[in-house]
Amino acid sequence: MKEEKRVTIYEIAERAGVSAATVSRALNSDYPVSSETRARIDKAVKDLNYRTNFIARSLRSRKSNLIAIVIPDITNAFFMEAAKGLEKEISTSGYNLVLSCTDGKAEKEHKIIDSLVERRVDGLIVASSDTNGKYLESIAREGTPIVLIDRPLQDCNLTKIIWDNKEGAKKITNYLISYGHKNIGIVNVSLDNINGRDRYQGFLEAIADAGLENNPEWNSPSDSTSDGAYKWTMNLMSKPKSERPTALFAANNVKLAGVLKACLELGIKIGDELSLVSFGFSDFLFGPEITSLFQDSLYMGKLGGERILSMLNGNKQSNGQDIILIPELHEGVSVKDLRNEKQW
């Protein structure tokens, strides 16, 4: 297929009967142009099907009007809601959103961000899969504003909008304990990132504070997939009743989906044969309403937009200011009351 030739501003100028400089001023709104002249230029633009060369414009103005969000999982509704909140916030200031997915790989994340910076995005919102913040700090020092969301990084002074993962995990584990559960397991997310480690630590602290014993066989391996949760739960809940927990804590909504699938296939009734709670929830999941810690990722994305816009407007005080969000406990029907029942 033959590639169409790009129309230039010189052709627009010839068609409209004005200079190329006047066309440039009208398109870039650098200087006032008479309404009659602008009308002729607009007609020429339409007649010739002219498309602005945004790359060239960004090189001249040092501004692309693009803000990118870099997330680990494009299929996770939590991150898509964050992107939605971000886009709604930045669009009111004339910015467009670029969405990139790293598949949870730090090396891919670095390549994506290098590419975005080369394309002169004005700012970055990052849910990082890295283990430390040295790389992102180097990008920020070169002049690209960065806001971290959901995942903090060690040794990193960038602005962060994060959740209190440890206290949240303690809160929901204590909820199970308050209903008489003593045999509790956890379906871990990846322990390679600090969120997973904090949630696991919060779970362990709640168990220890209650004087209960943690059974390592009821703690799933470090993993980030729904399929991993599904296979582990299938194996665990296929055991005799005396060898399995009365309750499970799914460490995020992806893990929750895997647990629900396994229980459905095994015919295990949630809220009766197994109590289930989760750090996060998704409206896309079917079944009983799960008692969960609600993370308003739409609001998190909005806050990320507010921070990045403030930084782009020259407010240096916005850099390094952290926001710690507290997840809310939403009660469902997924926890059985065992306070008056004998347990194994």
Residue 14 above 80 pLDDT?
Answer: yes
Given phi > 0 = left and psi -120 to 50 = alpha, else beta, which region is 320? Answer: left
Q: What is the pLDDT at residue 128? A: 95
Rounded Cα–Cα distance for residues 148 and 233 (Å):
32
Compute the C-alpha angle 236/241/243, nearest 5°. 55
Map tokens 């303690």 to a residue: 170
Count how many residues are written for the chain: 344
Residue-wise DSSP of 162-189:
EE-HHHHHHHHHHHHHHTT--SEEEE--
Position 33 scores a pLDDT of 78
Whether residue 314 is found in the same domain as residue 226: no
Measure the CA dihedral 247/249/253/255, to 10°. -80
Is 316 part of a structural domain of the chain? yes
Residue range 38-49: mean pLDDT, rounded: 85
Asked, for residue 341, whether it belongs to a domain, the answer is no
Q: Indicate whether 176 and 275 sit together in one domain.
A: yes
For the chain, strand residue ranges (E) read: 66-71, 96-101, 123-126, 146-150, 159-163, 184-187, 247-250, 275-279, 291-294, 323-325, 328-330
Residues 6+ apart with CB under 8 A from 150: 78, 79, 82, 127, 161, 162, 163, 195, 297, 300
pLDDT of residue 50: 74
Q: Do 47 and 91 reside in the same domain of the chain?
A: no
Considering the domain boundaries, does residue 138 fall inside one?
yes
Are residue 111 and residue 258 in the same domain, yes or no?
A: no
261/315 same-domain check: no
CATH code, 36: 1.10.260.40
Q: Number of folded domains in the chain?
A: 3
pLDDT of 326 reads: 93
What is the rounded average pLDDT of the residues 266-271?
Answer: 96
Residue 3 lies in a domain: no
Higher pLDDT, 136 or 288: 136
Q: Would you say residue 81 lies in a domain?
A: yes
Q: pLDDT tens-digit profile of 133-170?
A: 999 999 999 899 999 999 988 778 899 999 999 999 99
Residue pair 338/180 in contact by the 8 Å Cβ criterion: yes
Residue 43, pLDDT > 80, answer: yes
What does the pLDDT read at residue 317?
58
- pLDDT of amino acid 37: 86
What is the predicted pLDDT for the residue at 131? 85
Residue 153 is inside which H or E element, if any? Answer: none
> Is it the case that residue 315 has pLDDT exceeding 80?
no
The reported pTM is: 0.77
The CATH number that applies at residue 142 is: 3.40.50.2300
Residue scoring higher pLDDT (280 or 33): 280
Domain extent at residue 254: 165-295
Comparing 123-137, 221-235, 287-301, 312-326, the range with the smallest average pLDDT is: 312-326
The answer to whether position 250 is within a domain reads yes
State whether 196 and 214 are in the same domain.
yes
Same domain, 171 and 273: yes
